[in-house]
Amino acid sequence: MSAELDVKAQSILRGNDRGGYTVPTAGLYPYQWNWDSAFAAWGFSTFDIDRAWEEVETLFSGQWPNGMVPHILFHKDDPGYFPGPNVWGAEHKGPIPSSGISQPAVAATMIRKIWERDRAAGETRLLELLPKMKAWHKWYMDWRTVDGAVVVTHPWEAGRDNCADWDSAMAMIDPQGVGDYTRRDTGHVDPSMRPTKADYDRYIWLVQRGKRLDWDDAAMAEDRPFAVADPTLTFILLRANRDLAHMAEAMGEDRSEIDGWSKALEGGAETLRNPDSGIFDAINLRSGEHTGHVTSASFLCWYARLDDPRMREELAESFASCRYPIPSLELSSPDFDGMRYWRGPTWAIMNAMIAMGLTDMGYADEAAKLREVTGDLIAEHGFAEYFHPDTGQPAGGGTFTWTAAVWLAWASPNAEGA
Ligand code: GLC
C-alpha cells in the first residue's frame, strides 16, 4: 500500500513538473511558488537528486537585485490565475516576471537536506547557491524585521493567507478604491474553502499599494498599512539561518554575520511570546496587541531550535483535540473553520516542519506520533492541499505537490523521516 502511494507521489511531482520547476497543482496555482518549490525539491531528492537541485536553482534564478526571492515566479503567463503579473506590476524588478513580496525562507533548510543526501553531487551547486541564500536572508533582516521578529507586510508573505492572526490588522485596512476584479481561485475550488471577499479586497488593495510604490523597500516600509510580527516567518528564517551558517562553514566560509542574524531573531522570537498565555503568537504592530491565537505556526519553535516546556504542554492539548493534528487554528477558537484554508485545516507541510523540530530537540515520541497521523491522513484521504483536522476530509486543490513531497521525504513509512 505505502509503496503504491510512493509511486503515486512521485507521479504527482513529475506531473506537476513544468520543466525546471513544479507548479503546486494544475489549474489553481499554475506558476512557481517559493516555499512550495523548496518542499518539492526535498521530495524530488528522494528519487532524483539532480531534479531536486534544479528546482531550487530555478527558484533562485528569479531573485531580485535587492536579494528578495519572490513568492511567485510567473514563468509563463496563465489567464486562469488572478492576480497575475500585470496586477503586481513588478515585471521590471527582477530577471523573471514575479510578484512583489516573498514567502517563508524554507529553502536553506531543504537545500541542506538535499546536500546531505549526497554531498559530492551537490558541492558545486551548493557553492553557487550560498551567496544567493545569504543575500535573501539579508534582505529579510534589513527590510522585514522589527525588534528581531520578522514582519508580514502582506498576508500572502507568510504563506498562511487567511489565518486568524491577520484578522485585527486586516480590519484596520479600508480597501477604498480597490475597484472591480474577477477572482479565479473560486472557479477552481468551492468558495467555502477559500478566503472571503472582504479578505480578497484587502489582498488586492495591498498589491495595488506596492505597485504604486514600485515595490521600493524603503517606500514600502513607511507607514505600513499592514504589519504583523509573525511566528511563521520568524521561526523559519531563524532555522534557515542556522542551516545556512552550517553549510557556509562546511564550505570554508565565514559564518559570523549569519550567526549575528540568528541572535537577533532569537530575541525577536521571544517578543512573540504572549505574556498572558505563554504561547507564541503574532503581534499586530499597528495596535501593539498579541493576536492570542494558537496556530500551527506557534509550534514551529522547535524547528527554530528553541526549547519550550509551555509549548510542549500546548502540543499535548493539540494532539488531544482532533484526530489529525496540527490544526492551523485550535478547535476551541470561535474563529475555527475546519474546511477554510488557514483557519482550521491541517497542512502536511506544517506538520513536517514541526516534526523536524521535535526530532532535532530530542522529542522523538511526539515527532513519531505526528509522522504517523500525517501518514494516515494522506494514506486515507489523498494528496490534497489541506484537510479537515477531525474528519480528514480533503480540501482545496488535489494532486498537490507539497503534500506528495512531504509524503516521500517524511510521512511515508518508507521515508527516511525528518
Ligand atoms: C496558497 C497558500 C500558500 C502556498 C500557495 C501555493 O496561497 O496559502 O502558502 O504557497 O497557495 O500552494
Q: Is the peptide bond before 83 cis (omega within 30 degrees of 0)?
A: yes
CA distance 33 to 376: 27
Cα radius of gyration (the chain): 20
Residue type, 101: I
Best residue among 74, 78, 98, 156 to mutate for probing ligand 1's pocket (most ligand atoms within 8 Å of CB) is 156
For the chain, the first-to-last Cα distance in angstroms comes to: 21
272, three cell numbers: 512573540
pLDDT on residue 36: 98
Is 78 a residue of the active site?
no
The CA-based dihedral angle spanning residues 57, 411, 194, 304, taken in that order and rounded to the nearest 10 degrees: -70
73 and 96 Cβ atoms separated by less than 8 Å: yes
Low-confidence ranges of the chain (pLDDT < 50): none
Residue type, 115: W
CA distance 153 to 142: 14
pLDDT on residue 417: 67
CA distance 55 to 285: 35
Cβ of 29 below 6 Å from ligand 1: yes
CA distance 224 to 206: 10
pLDDT on residue 207: 98
Which helix (H) or strand (E) element contains residue 202?
helix 197-212
Backbone angles phi, psi at 412, to 5 degrees: -65, 140
pTM of the model: 0.98
In ligand 1, the atom with minimum distance to the C-alpha of 397 is 12
Is 385 a residue of the active site?
yes
In ligand 1, the atom with minimum distance to the C-alpha of 161 is 8
pLDDT on residue 418: 62
pLDDT on residue 283: 98
Q: Residue with C-alpha cell 531536486?
A: 52
Cβ of 159 below 6 Å from ligand 1: yes
For residue 13, which of 399, 391, 409 has the smallest C-alpha distance? 399
In ligand 1, the atom with minimum distance to the C-alpha of 385 is 12
CA distance 207 to 176: 13
Best residue among 28, 36, 295 to mutate for probing ligand 1's pocket (most ligand atoms within 8 Å of CB) is 36
Cβ of 39 below 6 Å from ligand 1: no
147, three cell numbers: 525588534
Rounded (10°) angle between helices 364-381 and 309-321: 30
In ligand 1, the atom with minimum distance to the C-alpha of 71 is 10
CA distance 344 to 93: 36
pLDDT on residue 212: 98
**Which are the contacts of 347, defined by CB distance < 8 A and separation ≥ 6?**
296, 328, 385, 386
Between the alpha carbon of residue 313 and those of residues 274, 351, 396, the distances in Å are: 15, 17, 31
21, three cell numbers: 520547476
68 and 220 Cβ atoms separated by less than 8 Å: no
Residue 276 alpha carbon to ligand 1 centre in Å: 31
Cβ of 231 below 6 Å from ligand 1: no
> Hey, which residues does 151 pair with through a beta bridge?
229
